[in-house]
Structure 1
């Protein structure tokens, strides 16, 4: 059973089933109708955009099991067809479905993140309702899916991405348990008493004074990188920037307070009192998640830095009394995804270990004659990790090149898989994930730089660098986007498996947190484990030899999970 529901331009809602159509519903009427249909039919809901429609239902206490998100599907299909710069709006999709040119006002502006979808209420032609448009666009999308190389995989991707959209709305509404009192106490202990807007906290004022004193008493603004670089230059130390990793190796009395200042300044600006007031209410951190907000399919967030909770603040993330946080992260997910993608049986044997990098180090260096770089004291595990990351990200500098060469000798199928993707990128071609996520095309400037005859040696070098740079992007895209496929499927299955009232409260890349009554923690742990196993089977088949182990911990506070 399929039910189409969406907000019309006048603000009312329409709900269409095969047997009836309800129009002119206000939010309360829409929620009431949805609750009844969900309870009696458990349909697949078709939303123009879950991000703009589903919050109305969630706010009214209505949760649905399944949906199809037209906007997310349109974005994925446009990318597959090489038209990711076009608008994902319902108005534009309606025009394309009818062989028309989308109106100028719905043309998408090319951006650095072309998978961010438009979710505003579309302006449809006169007499065309949202339901009419959705039905037409849906039929056209089904035709386009059937025309893809692997229609079943694309259907799975669209279903998983749509389920992710439901999860994102629910997570924003439920929120991550957050102790504001502990956060406030931490800020005071680290920074000093709260200050007025525009003022530095006491700890930063004192560190700034120490920094200037270390530079001979001449005032230095630690918030200004050029000021720090100039101060170091006056001390005879040349650095290209005042970044943390560049400062760490410098022997100067200002470096210690500079590094401490950077750490505390980051806490103050990114997660200080202003952040606490804006983002934490009623004991919950409620960010706004953007499904597929990165071109590789990873999630993003709008404000609040939801996907980068600093370690120092994880003690503030605490389960309610009588509840637990079940924290699960997939161990070395992307190398295992590469193993499954490439079908490298020898690497699959390595991936059977919980610590893939440790086992890979044994496989690469046990009995091997390896001469480390001068002064290198890394152990075999660390070198193995460098080798694998070099394969996935294209690193060749320093010891990375020789280590990648050794990995290529031992595991040619896996390394060849990403190198073919890199070569395709260097030619300006697109690559795809396991389920069909498609990389964007390089820019016109890139094509102009790499596609013509170089006028001189410098121009030729620049063109080669640009070509290799895009190749590094596509090399990683096939792995990272396939990992995004897998986590989307995992989220979709986990939503169905979680026992009530347990619920998802956090997700980032390869980690999930479920807030659950303590007595259900073991059942939730099993649900997560089973969901990952099912996702692996759905992506790579029942005979997939790759193991995807999880680190799962039922804890009272997020800080205790690792």
Structure 2
């Protein structure tokens, strides 16, 4: 069963039962309390809810301790369908989709800050009249059109369901939050940076490094280094002094090195490491600590952690490949050093799981290369492939060479040792090699490529087409021909990786949807370790609390940790079967049950 939902003002709304094809299966039901009505129907019927946007409506349900099992997110699915048609960037809202259906001018999407779950889809006045009964008709029509379009696309129904399930998981993770110890975080910052400084001042450790950096630039340089392993850029400066260098200013750092006789093009770490100057190690340490202070320092702690939880704002499908993004908090860039602040509640544990060598395994499953598939049936894929590379040139183990060859094939590497290793890969695993080569050729021709389930890459820009259409014209100036060639190669690298990375994102979403369902089934009737009062989830139920590309964290009562680990493995296998059928490629999950995230790896 499916039930369409339209939110109205003052907490009300409208519902309508639908058949699987999207056609109405009952009358419109206007309800004064939408949350209560959804809770009742979820309990009685467990339908798939059809609504405009999970991100806007579901938090309202979660705040009332109402969770649903399934949904169809119209905006996310509209984005997928527009992408499949090569129409990236067009408005995806229900009003926009409704206008396209009627051949009317398409309104732009509202900025997120202007949207409200309480407001009617088509009414600019959320406190005004209740248009939810009219909105439900438009929602039903848009959903029916999406169902019609999906029916003609192989695999797309699973993609729409997985993307929508991901939207539920994202909202729940933002609501429940990742267990986070403010005390551990503060202690770590104090250990690395010194005590918390007054507003606007540098922490003591950063100030000390800034002073030492200035001193290093002020002092005359000594005799040249006698190291037998000189870096590529190793020029000693003439005697001179540079005063008052602000290490937060790249321009001042560049000027200081130039004044010391060491001109460099940037202050990137790999550039600085080529210099032989006493300020370099100090600058590298300063940059690392300053990045921590700026991105995850005390201000971040004050803003994003409350009640023992970090509650990020995930953006489902925020990257064209299907990977998620965040609209704040940097959940996808938690520094390794801060993982010790992610601490399970007393009586609870963290089950940390990530897919081992996911993208190469995805390539094996996509390509159907028999020899490659047989290798992917083993735990360590690179080790299983290593026999093919034992006679390859260059230094390093055969396993390392196998890894270089695979990553070069997927990401478009082709210089140095990688050229010889790619030749071995092509000879031993021709179907796997040809799969990504074909995607690269399609990209270079301006074509679209798709994931296993139909997620589609963006089309090239008009500027790209103009530049590359004349790339074979020998009468053009060499710089123009060179630019065209680089644009073609860049597009080819993008599409060769897209087919693998986007399919990996499909697999990860299927894993997430399956795991979310299995965790709900693990809910105990009672637990000796109820969640603390600051945890907003009302039951002692294992909860997904973190997701990043191919890694998940579940916060669980300790006595259920083993069951959760089994659920993760079963979900990985279910995701494999849903995407690829019964194939020998395995997708092993590396699982650790720990008290704190830092102990997992």
TM-score between both structures, scaled by the size of structure 2: 0.86
Matched, 1:463 2:502: no
* Contact in 2 for aligned 1:66/1:163 (Cα 8 Å): yes
For structure 2, the residue ranges without an aligned partner over 5 or more in a row are: 18-24, 220-241, 524-540
Q: Cα deviations across residues 378-435 of structure 1 (Å, max 9, x unaligned)?
A: 3332222221111111012332222222211221111110111011011111100000
Distance change in 2, residues 1:64/1:91 (3 Å):
same
- Structure 2 CA distance, aligned partners of 1:241 and 1:398? 25
Aligned position for 2:99 = 95
**Alignment correspondent of 1:189:** 191
Alignment counterpart, residue 389 of structure 2, candidates 353, 360, 365: 365
- Equivalent runs, 1:48-447 vs 2, <5 Å: 48-103=52-107, 106=108, 122-123=121-122, 129-148=134-153, 150=154, 153-217=155-219, 218=242, 219-360=244-385, 362-366=386-390, 368=391, 370-372=392-394, 377-447=395-465
- After superposition, the CA RMSD in angstroms is 2.0
1:86-110: CA deviations, max 9, x gaps? 100110101112233314xx2699x
Match of 1:23 among 9, 17, 30: 30
Q: 1:197 to 1:442 in 2, by over 3 A?
A: farther
Cα distance change on mapping 1:79 and 1:265 into 2, 3 Å: same
What do the CA deviations read for 1:170-203 (whole angstroms, capped 9, x no partner)? 0000000000001011111111111233211111
Query: How many residues align structurally?
Result: 540
**How far off is 1:124 after superposition?**
6.3
TM-score computed with the length of structure 1 as normaliser: 0.92
Q: Deviations over 1:179-235 (max 9, x none)?
A: 000101111111111123321111111101111111225222211122222222333
Q: Tell whether the 8 Å contact from 2:11 to 2:34 is kept in structure 1 after alignment.
A: no
| Distance in structure 2 (CA, Å) of the matches to 1:165 and 1:278 | 24
Q: State the match for 2:598 in structure 1.
A: 559
- 2:5 corresponds to which residue? 5
Q: Is the 8 A contact 2:389 2:401 kept in 1?
A: no
In the alignment, is the contact (CA less than 8 A) between 1:88 and 1:117 conserved in 2? Answer: no
**1:237 Cα offset (Å):** 2.8
Q: Which residue in the other structure is 1:112 paired with? A: none
Q: Is the 8 A contact 1:89 1:118 kept in 2?
A: no
Over 3 Å counting, the alpha-carbon distance change for 1:146 and 1:305 in structure 2 is same
Q: Is residue 515 of structure 1 aligned with residue 540 of structure 2?
A: no
Q: 1:232 to 1:172 in 2, by over 3 A?
A: same
1:412-461 alpha-carbon deviations (Å, 9 max, x no partner): 11111011101101111110000000000111111111113642121111
Rounded to whole Å, the distance in 1 between the matches of 2:586 and 2:592 is 19
Quick one: distance in 2 between partners of 1:201 and 1:473? Answer: 41
For 1:355-388, what per-residue CA distance to the aligned partner results, in whole angstroms no more than 9, with x for missing partners? Answer: 222332x22323x2x331xxxx533322222211
**Contact 2:389/2:424, CA 8 A, preserved across alignment:** no
Contact 2:7–2:34 (8 Å) recurs in 1: no
Structure of higher CA gyration radius: 2
Tell me how far apart the structure 2 counterparts of residues 437 and 118 of structure 1 sit (CA, whole Å): 28
Q: 1:460 to 1:548 in 2, by over 3 A?
A: same
| Mapped partners of 2:371, 2:274: distance in 1 | 39
1:532-560 deviation line (CA, Å, top 9, x unaligned): 00100010012x12111110011100001
